[in-house]
């Protein structure tokens, strides 16, 4: 049992050493993106620093860190944009770093996101390495870095922080560390509303583990759910098997499941009390931003409207291809029998991103935490010869850097 645990859950130092080449590659991609952004912004008379730290959502987070909650903007059409829509963990960290260093709140947010992006890359590597090996882990990290919207990973937004917490929570589930998984899920729930995806993954995995334990108890009598600890998820067949088994002793599983929803529940209930509207108060806050879950109706109308003229029809075709690619990658993950926690997490992230009536230009950014979608591509890239895979990543990195600079210098928020 000791050898198995060491094999599937190596010490952090060993895991960091394994991930080091991937993290260096990630740093190179992010540096390229920032350099292109600085040059592009300077050519347009804009400040890359402002675009990264003090525009759009980053500005709202900074205001929460500096002034607390209670700020809102009333628009001419009657909509109310309240900063209660923004979950508190990132502003808390901005405030803490500002108190400990000479950094402004905005710069503190940039540093937090920068560090969180590396933690996220390391967590993505850990998940992919656990299931598919070191080369697949490195490929997953680099593919996440070269996404067209990868520049968001370097912004004072909450995506990097959330992805880091989600990836490490999922890794903790895969390696049978349920209390750690639950604690990280609780923190993810304090970061973004989509923290529900991490909670769902932990709870689904926990319930399945309990059911399997009961089945094992019925089949083997005394050697059942209260016996020796089970093997971690994904450790049953081979050193890098993607197939899940069960978790850990019942007590730690229950504690992890209990911890998981506390972050999101605490903030939502606090908002409800502050607004005087009870548990549904947060939904009213989101409604003020015209955000809600409509099953994809508004997004479908948005795509359909693109076909009213020829130039915009090309954008409509691109959106359909993009959504189709997301669904296709998810179905490949199902066919590859990715561990259940990953499938549940990805499914909830994708559903919330595509089926919400939020600002449609942000859909790609909202999908950024859905890193398990990249695992089928990562396993394919891992089987490619190194020179060819390096060329592919290099070309994608350049394209992503150019697109990111163009995107942030546009008129709307990412």
HSE-up (13 A, CA, CB side) for residue 414: 29
Task: Write out pLDDT tens, residues 277-294.
Answer: 988 899 999 999 988 888
Residue 353 domain-assigned (yes or no):
no
312's tokens: 């915009």
Span 207-250, pLDDT tens digits: 998 888 787 777 766 444 444 444 455 443 333 444 343 446 78
Indicate if the pLDDT at residue 340 is higher than 70: yes
For residue 59, is it within any domain?
yes
Distance from C-alpha of 109 to C-alpha of 22, rounded to nearest angstrom: 24
Is 146 within the bounds of a domain? yes
Angle between helices 105-132 and 134-145 in degrees, nearest 10: 150
> The tokens of 253 are what?
């599983």
DSSP at 192: -
- For 376-397, what is the mean pLDDT? 96
pLDDT for the residue numbered 213:
79
Entry pTM: 0.91
Task: Report if residue 180 sits inside a domain.
Answer: yes
Would the pLDDT of 391 be above 70? yes
Over the stretch 73-105, which tens digit does the pLDDT of each residue have?
999 888 899 999 999 999 999 999 999 999 999
| Residue 380 within a domain | no
Please check whether residue 307 lies inside any domain of the structure: no
| Number of domains making up the chain | 1
Across 61-73, average pLDDT: 96
Could you tell me the sign of the dihedral formed by the alpha carbons of 65, 160, 331, 131, in that order?
negative
In-domain check, residue 135? yes
Residue 356 located in a structural domain: no
Q: Residue 50 belongs to what domain range?
A: 2-288+386-408
């Amino acid at each position: 049992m000791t050898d198995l645990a060491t094999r599937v859950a190596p010490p952090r130092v060993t895991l960091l050493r394994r991930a080091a080449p991937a993290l260096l590659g990630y740093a190179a991609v992010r540096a390229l993106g920032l350099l292109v952004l600085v040059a592009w912004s300077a050519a347009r008379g804009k400040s890359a620093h402002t675009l990264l730290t003090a525009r759009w959502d980053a500005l709202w987070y900074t205001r929460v860190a500096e002034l607390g909650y209670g700020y809102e903007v009333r628009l001419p059409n009657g909509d109310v944009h309240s900063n209660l829509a923004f979950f508190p963990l990132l502003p808390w960290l901005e405030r803490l770093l500002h108190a400990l260093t000479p950094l402004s709140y905005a710069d503190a947010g940039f540093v937090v996101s920068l560090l969180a992006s590396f933690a996220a890359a390391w967590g993505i590597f850990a998940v992919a390495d656990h299931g598919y090996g070191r080369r697949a882990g490195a490929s997953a990290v680099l593919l996440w870095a070269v996404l067209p919207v990868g520049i968001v990973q370097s912004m004072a937004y909450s995506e990097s922080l959330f992805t880091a917490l989600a990836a490490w929570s999922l890794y903790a589930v895969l390696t049978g560390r349920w209390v750690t998984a639950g604690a990280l899920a609780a923190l993810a729930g304090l970061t973004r509303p989509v923290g529900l995806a991490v909670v769902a993954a932990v709870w689904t995995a926990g319930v399945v583990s309990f059911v399997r334990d009961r089945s094992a108890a019925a089949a083997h009598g005394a050697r059942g759910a209260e016996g020796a600890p089970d093997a971690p998820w994904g450790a049953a067949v081979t050193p890098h098997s993607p197939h899940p088994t069960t978790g850990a002793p019942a007590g730690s599983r229950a504690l992890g499941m209990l911890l998981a929803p506390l972050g999101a529940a605490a903030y939502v209930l606090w908002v409800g009390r502050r607004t005087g509207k009870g548990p549904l108060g947060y939904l009213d806050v989101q409604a003020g931003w015209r955000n809600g879950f409509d099953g994809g109706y508004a997004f479908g109308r948005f795509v359909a409207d693109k076909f009213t003229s020829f130039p915009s029809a090309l954008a409509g075709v691109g959106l359909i291809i993009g959504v189709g690619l997301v669904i296709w990658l998810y179905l490949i993950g199902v066919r590859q029998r990715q561990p259940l926690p990953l499938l549940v997490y990805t499914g909830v992230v994708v559903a919330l991103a595509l089926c919400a009536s939020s600002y449609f230009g942000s859909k790609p950014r909202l999908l950024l935490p859905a890193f398990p979608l990249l695992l089928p591509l990562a396993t394919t890239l891992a089987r490619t010869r190194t020179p060819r895979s390096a060329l592919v990543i290099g070309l994608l990195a350049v394209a992503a850097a150019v697109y990111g600079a163009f995107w942030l210098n546009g008129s709307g928020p990412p």
